[in-house]
Amino acid sequence: MKMTKTSATILALLATVLLNAQAPTDRDKVKELCGCFDVNFQFAETFSPQQGYKYHDRENISGGTELVYVVEETDKKLVMQHLLIITDSIIIKHWREEWSYENPERWIYEGNNVWKKTYLKPEEVKGKWTQTVWEVSDAPRYQGHSQWVSLDGKWIWQNTADAPLPRREYTSRNDYNILRRTNRIMLTDKGYVHDQDNEKIKRENGKDELLVAEKGWNTYNRVEEKECKAGLAYWEKTKEYWTAVRLAWEEYLKTHDRIQLKQNINGKVLHDHLFVQAAQYTKGQLKKDDIAKTVTALLSEYLGG
């Protein structure tokens, strides 16, 4: 049967409709979290039910320039690396985030550097994006899922998840062991805001006790791409090494249902060694063919084999 021009047009429209029906929603909103930003991090402890509690860091403020760079992208997944730019010659491989669409796998933080893998029902994640946040060492931190919603003219994604102590406190505090994070990401005309309502919790014998509440207000205001040129140059020099680290973690997570990460070995945390190895790679002291086995051996030390 000969296809008419009208029939061809109808089929093309149907194909477009079907493609859009299968495509993840709100992917463009996740992409808005990428780019070059002037960042400002503010935290303050706000309320404690504990009588006589001595507040820590009532105003903890820091900031800088940060590049959020897409290192892997598919229709249902975006892997975004944060690079903190101190100066043109001092770049810190910062935390990493991964967004996945309708992902049923969930790693739950139980405390004491232990995460357990669970699975959600398909209907629980339908139409939702999961954000996974990874440490500077690419070790897990927290994971949660939610839909993007429009509220008062702003696009917002919100989730609550348990996490380890934040980097600003894990070497100086031992009076709590769970940070219950309510993360609220709001897109703005300038970039986005990471609004947090956190609870610092002491978990013992299966019971949670609130120590103090905390407010976080982190702003990401977009700046010209040239401000992040040094960060991009650093990534180009080190991406093969850091990609090997990420892939080694992915392989471990595929074959395990539980993670127990050692806090430190001989006074050094995992990322201390990784930063040294990354520098060795850029100087030619660590060969490309040796990266995978070197990283895997190091992870085995901190993960107990």
Tokens of 223: 């700046």
Mean pLDDT of the chain: 91
More confident residue, 23 or 31: 31
Does 266 fall in a domain?
Answer: no
Does 174 fall in a domain?
Answer: yes
Tens of pLDDT, residue by residue over 228-266, are 999 999 999 999 999 999 999 999 999 999 999 998 999
Q: Model's pTM, two decimal places? A: 0.88
Q: Which amino acid is at 304?
A: G
Question: What integer is the mean pLDDT of 210-220?
Answer: 97
- The pLDDT-based confidence of 136 (bands split at 50, 70, 90) is very high
Question: What integer is the mean pLDDT of 117-144?
Answer: 97
16, pLDDT greater than 70? no
Does 267 fall in a domain?
Answer: no
Cα gap 13→11, rounded to integer Å: 5
12, pLDDT greater than 70? no
Cα gap 201→203, rounded to integer Å: 6
pLDDT of residue 22: 44
* Residue 260 φ/ψ, nearest 5 degrees: -130, 110
- The pLDDT-based confidence of 21 (bands split at 50, 70, 90) is very low
pLDDT of residue 77: 96
Question: What integer is the mean pLDDT of 114-142?
Answer: 97
Domain tally, the chain: 1
- The pLDDT-based confidence of 57 (bands split at 50, 70, 90) is low
Tokens of 75: 């229709």
Tokens of 181: 């994070």
174: domain CATH number is 2.40.128
Q: Domain limits at 189? A: 24-228
Catalogue the E-assigned strands of 102-250.
Answer: 105-111, 114-119, 129-134, 140-146, 148-151, 154-163, 178-187, 191-204, 207-222
301, pLDDT greater than 90? yes
Cα gap 72→55, rounded to integer Å: 41
Does 173 fall in a domain?
Answer: yes
Terminal alpha carbon distance of the chain: 64
Cα gap 219→42, rounded to integer Å: 9
101, pLDDT greater than 90? yes
Does 211 fall in a domain?
Answer: yes
More confident residue, 15 or 42: 42
pLDDT of residue 126: 96
278, pLDDT greater than 90? yes
pLDDT of residue 160: 98
Does 5 fall in a domain?
Answer: no
